[in-house]
Structure 1
Amino acid sequence: MSGPNTDYDPVEVAAVSPAEVEAARDAALAAIAAAADLEQLKAVRTEHAGDRSPLALANREIGALPPQARKEAGQRVGQARGAVNQALAARQVELEAENEARILVEEAVDVTLPTDRDPVGARHPLTTGSELIADIFVAMGWEVAEGPVIEAEWLNFDALNLGPDHPARTMQDTFWTDPADDHLVLRTHTSPVQARTMLTRGVSEGAPIYVVCPGRVFRTDEYDATHSPMFHQVEGLAIDEGISMAHLKGTLDHFASQMFGEGITTRFRPSYFPFTEPSAEVDLVCFVCRGTGLNDAGSDPCRTCRGEGWIEWGGCGIVNPRVLQACGVDSTRYSGFAFGMGIDRTLMFRHGLEDLRTLFEGDVRFTTAFGSEL
């Protein structure tokens, strides 16, 4: 049996020859130095230090060498791979530092600038609408009066000439509180605020009453596109010497023009309310067709007023002397007028809303459309 062959020619394994290993190392070091960013360095790492790189393949060939040659070849390949890995680590640190410096410059944030990450809020149109109405009357010299939403039965009904058996009480479906003996209701209109104002202040020489009363009211209505158990009204009261329907008409014409534009006036239609006499329904000139009753083309009826040229707006009248007497005002000397209309309905007219429920559903997309003011 022959012994082991100790003769070999290391040049026969070209991959681990000094020249090939040195060339692979130099190529790797050059590629590492030329890498301009971390992405390029990642590709260089795969090509020159990965499992299929020349030095990795050379390392695999060491096992095919005779035992006497393996040590020298292993040292040669190992030193080359170590130099490549050190160069990769050093270049990685350099490129990461350069990348961070670039980010600090290119993505710098001025923390002193106002942020726009938080959405801009918007006030509800019912709030701004009520304030606009109040401002119109304050500019005329009137005052704004408020009162509680849970009201005494006497102030809500009796003081306004709606006695216990008055048929008008059936016209206002009322929320009553428990126990019934307390005689408290959720107010069905803001007229109790007018009664409270007269009772508190009365009318003396040189001290007439001119107040406007916006606020929430409650009735047991169905909740649909045109009705709600909770809605908003604005009522006005003027008490002074010599007050007439002419003063009432002029006040409401000014109010209408301020809300809906110049040229919008009102008309009165005879009606009945227990707290005013005489009483009238208030109609607006249609602010879309301007009273013509026709659409823009002039061929079809106006959709807003249905061809009438007028839109129902609210109620008004001269304050009933019985109401003045019940509230401590001398009806032989003073007279007054009162009016009332829905704020919700007014805003629906003003902004072309078709469904009352959009005012109460809390959808921020609806509120945002109005911005911070009307």
Structure 2
Amino acid sequence: MDTQQNTALTRALAEVPGPLPTSGVIHIAIPHTDRFTIVGNHLAQHPDLSCTAVGIAVRIQSLPQGVEVGIKALAARCREGEKRIAAALRELEAFGYLQRIRDRLPSGRFITRTVFCNQPTALLRPRRPAAPQHPSAPAPHPAPAEVPTSAPAQGQAPAQVPTSAPAQAPATAPAPPPEPDMPALPPVPPPPLLAAPPAPLYVPLVPPPTAPKPPPAPLPRPDEPTPELDRAATALLSDLRRHAPQLTLSETDIRHLVPGVAAWLERAAHPDAIRRILTTDLPHPLRHPAKLLKHRLTALLPPPLPGAHDLAAPARPRITVTPFQNCDGCNRVFRSPTPGHCRDCREHREHREHREHRSEDARTAA
């Protein structure tokens, strides 16, 4: 029995314009009339997003506002597990399609809002501000027409009203009574100025591919250049091709890199250590040896050697210890800078003197 053919598919293929390709996909594009979502090719064909992340992004984009799109909510809607959905959401967040914003409600409770942007690169483009409208010179508006008592039609001569109509004239409809003159309408106020477009809800964390790169760090230079440093740095750079043939430098490159090597030598770096750092783990193929040496001399510059006073241990603060004393009254030990009585003896002595003063005052008063 022959294989059953799909007549609808055959008819649709016959309507595809142009010759059909011999290999690859064949698109049958039927326009949608309802229940569809527009997805950009920047998302559908994203080179760095996984197919799971693209599918999750399309699912989120097709949902209405206010629907929960958390990990557990998406896991209940999709066949993927929570781990794959969490990894896909992290991918979308890294490329600016998704962002989680922590917001505070008027009641004081914090909530997390999930914002999805279908085209994050469009937020980085500068928006054109609305054209300002000056209220002093508003756009001209047509003046309201006054209702005339009798106005002839445009392009026609005014009709002559006879004083005595002949009897043979046909009967005409009576003219409407003249309306009173209406007062002029007040001028229409100019439209209000358009407000500036609101700021975007978020700024993608990933810079666009066309973002300007920061300028490279300058090549280090010695604080006190000397002929000896210059000579030693020139000899070290010229000798690199003996250890790595890829680092065969021109005289111009050597003169340009000499200050960087001199800065290393000024900081007491050993020539063998400098040579090992510059010649180890070279990329294959090495197309720009001078640029590689400049990067290593700049990024791996060691700090200056510390001085003798920097290596000395800091002096410990001197702690003053209060000595022990024996109380003159009860012979109890207590701490005090000077000998005398302890606290209890001093309080007992003050209390006794206070009672003696009170009794003496009572006798004097008697």
Q: Structure 2 length normalisation: TM-score?
A: 0.21
* The structure with more radius of gyration: 2
> Larger RCO: Structure 1 or Structure 2 (Cα < 8 Å, ≥ 6 residues apart)?
1
**Structure with the bigger percentage of helix:** 1
